[in-house]
């Protein structure tokens, strides 16, 4: 994948990374999802081995993003950066790698789900060139308990 600096490495997650990713999200990600468990992340990586991107510095996990492409739309989830390492370009490097992936796959526009209360996240997404679309509302229906 892409190296944005000499010390930052962006790569797809593999099965051996999943426990570390789940633990990382507990401290670095805002909010939780019904899919934030081992089975959910295993299904993601099995279905699309390049979707879950990791940022590492000196072999330590410092950031993640899920760059999911369903053949029609480009969806971004779980952009998370270690709170102690924010504002160092890690999120920007992850988004650049995700966007490169989307372009390579034929994607035309990326979208992200960002919690309304996550002001830090909203600032990061705006800085990366993303804008909210207030005329859309997300509708959800849990399919499992």
Q: Using alpha carbons, select from 89, 72, 70 the residue that is nearest to residue 127.
A: 89
pLDDT at 37: 83
Beta bridge partners of 67: 76
pLDDT at 117: 86
Distances (CA, A) of 79 to 3, 5, 30, 45, 144: 17, 19, 9, 16, 24
pLDDT at 145: 67
pLDDT at 5: 47
State which residues of the chain have pLDDT below 70.
Answer: 1-6, 31-32, 34, 145
Stated as kind and residue range, the H or E segment containing 105 is helix 90-105
pLDDT at 2: 45
Q: Which residues contact 138 (CB under 8 A, 6 or more apart)?
A: 113
pLDDT at 144: 73
């Amino acid at each position: 994948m892409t190296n944005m600096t000499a010390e930052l490495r962006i790569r797809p997650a593999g099965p051996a990374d999943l426990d570390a990713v789940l633990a990382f999200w507990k401290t670095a990600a805002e909010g939780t999802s019904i899919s934030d468990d081992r089975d959910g992340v295993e299904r993601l990586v099995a279905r699309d081995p390049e979707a879950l991107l990791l940022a590492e510095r000196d072999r330590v996990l410092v950031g993640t993003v899920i760059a999911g492409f369903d053949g029609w739309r480009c969806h971004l989830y779980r952009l998370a950066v270690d709170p102690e390492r924010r504002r160092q370009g890690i999120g920007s490097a992850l988004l650049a790698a995700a966007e490169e992936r989307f372009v390579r796959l034929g994607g035309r526009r990326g979208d992200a789900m960002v919690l309304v209360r996550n002001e830090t996240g909203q600032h990061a997404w705006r800085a990366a060139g993303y804008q909210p679309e207030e005329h859309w509302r997300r509708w959800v229906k849990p399919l499992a308990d």
